[in-house]
Each structure stands twice: as structure tokens, then as C-alpha cells.
Structure 1
């Protein structure tokens, strides 16, 4: 497969998640709710997380934003639902490192599933905040939960 076809495949995956986001909506059983915005693009993400037994039992997001922010939130929710908090924290760190162009994260990027395709965003610095918005909301939600224990 040539690079042009691979780029088209990545673009299609991002558009599919943006147009048909997974875990989109409200979560009545949420323990933590974090709302973040990206003023440069107008993205707003409201992330709701339910934590049980040191893991992400469920989560949902709502808000408006560009395709990249919505796709990233959808991919993230697919990835972390049901995982332990240490696993989630590691994946957040891996994702953020990947988008900063840190090659040390390469060995862990495959574990990000669909979200690994967002590595292409590093070529567009203005879009990095779009891709990281939901991940930073999750990082904040977990941090707040840890502070309340």
C-alpha cells in the first residue's frame, strides 16, 4: 500500500469516528465531569467518567468541535473503557508524547488502537490541541478522583 492510500485510510477512520462517535452523550452514573475547551478552534468537550474498583467503568463525552477533536474523543473512549487507572494514565502519557513528536513513545503507540492514526496530526501543530483535548480532560478527571480519595 502506498503512502497516499494509507493517508486516505487514516483520514477515513478519523472521519468515521467524527461522524459516528462512540460513547457520545451523557452518563448518568458519572463520578467525575470535566469540561475543557480549545479557544483556537472552538472545540468544547464535556467528559463524564464513572470509576469503580480503580478502573474506568464507563465514560461518555459530549460537546462540539472539529473532526479531529470529536474523533480523538471517540477513539479515546473506546480505548480506555474497562481499563485500570494505571493503564489509562500510561495510555494518556503515550498519546500526549506521540503528539509531541517524541519517538520514545513509538513502542507503546500500537497499544493506542485507532488513536494511533492521530500521530499524523503532529504535521499540523495548530491541530494538536484539538487531538489532545479529550485526553487532557480524562487526565484531569482521573487526577481529581485521586485527589478525593
Structure 2
């Protein structure tokens, strides 16, 4: 295993052990959304709440269980995107999806810079069964953000979405 692969493995294990954003807290924001996603292939699941104030992801909180890849991935996204603009969140979600579809190849420097620690999941793209694990939290975030945007513009309470496979 190369030094870079060891570093990536360490990032994933650190986030799996010391998860950022874990704990479903009540979020006080102009718009909130919640999504529950389940990977029926392996049983990984996550419930993610997000708050949006104006053009900013003001809060991300989640709870879930599953493999270290699924749990570390949602931890990384929480650390990476809380406090960022909605445009940055959308761009980062798409960059992570591209990383998962890259079959283990690195992305261009600009998208890898955007992904930060999420770049550590590049090797997951070599294993199609594990891609769903890594994407689980990101799909929950995408769904919850859509709800939060709608709630923010309508001034309504969020609906809880029950998602399927990532």
C-alpha cells in the first residue's frame, strides 16, 4: 500500500471513529430538511438534518449506522459543508459523485481541492458495492437540502423523506 493510500485509509478511519456532526439535534434555521436513506444491499442507513439560512448551509446533523465507509463519508461531508454556501454544497455533492464514478482515478485539481478530505474516498470507486456506502450520506444531504430550500422559500416546516438506495 502506498503512503498516499495509507493516508487516505487513516482519514477514513479517523472520521469513522470521531464522527463530525453525529447526533440528531433540533436545527433552528430559516429552512430545514431531513432525509432518511437506507442501503438495502448492506443495511447501512443514515438520517440527516440540514438547516439553511439564506444562501448558507447553517447546520448539518446526522445519525446512522453501518460500515466505516458510510459513517466516515457522512462525517466528512458534515465537516466540509457546514457553513458553506448552497452553491458550494451543490458543487461539492456533484464532485463527490464524480469521484465515486471515477473507478479509482483522481479528479482534476480544482474538484479535489473542493472535496478536501472527501478525496480520501477515491479508492472506493474501484469497488461498485462500496460506492453506495460512500454515497449514502451525500444523497441524504441532497434530498434534505431540497426540502430546506423549499421550506425556506415557503416558510413551512420540513417533511421527512424516506429515501431508498443511494
* Residues 96 and 48 of structure 1, relative CA distance in 2, 3 Å threshold: same
Q: What are the superposed Cα offsets for residues 3-58 of structure 1, whole Å, 9 maximum, x if unpaired? A: 52221221111111001101100121162111101011111100011111121101
1:82 corresponds to 2:80:
no
Report the counterpart of residue 132 of structure 2 in structure 1: 129
Q: Quick check: 2:50–2:61 contact (8 Å CA) kept in 1?
A: yes
Equivalent positions of 1:111-122 (< 5 A) are 111-122=114-125
What CA RMSD, in Å, does the superposition of the two structures yield over aligned residues? Answer: 1.7
Q: Quick check: 1:27–1:59 contact (8 Å CA) kept in 2?
A: no
SS at match of 1:26: coil
Q: Quick check: 2:50–2:148 contact (8 Å CA) kept in 1?
A: no
Specify which structure has the higher proportion of helix: 1
SS at match of 1:74: helix
Report the counterpart of residue 28 of structure 1 in structure 2: 26
SS at match of 2:57: strand
Q: What are the superposed Cα offsets for residues 77-132 of structure 1, whole Å, 9 maximum, x if unpaired? A: 01100011111001001110111118795231221110011011011111000000
- Separation in structure 2 between the aligned mates of residue 27 and residue 33 of structure 1, nearest angstrom: 11
SS at match of 1:33: strand
Report the counterpart of residue 15 of structure 1 in structure 2: 13
- Does 1 or 2 have the higher relative contact order (CA < 8 Å, sep 6+)? 2
- Separation in structure 1 between the aligned mates of residue 40 and residue 137 of structure 2, nearest angstrom: 14
- Separation in structure 1 between the aligned mates of residue 119 and residue 106 of structure 2, nearest angstrom: 14
Question: What TM-score, normalized to structure 2?
Answer: 0.82
Report the counterpart of residue 53 of structure 1 in structure 2: 54
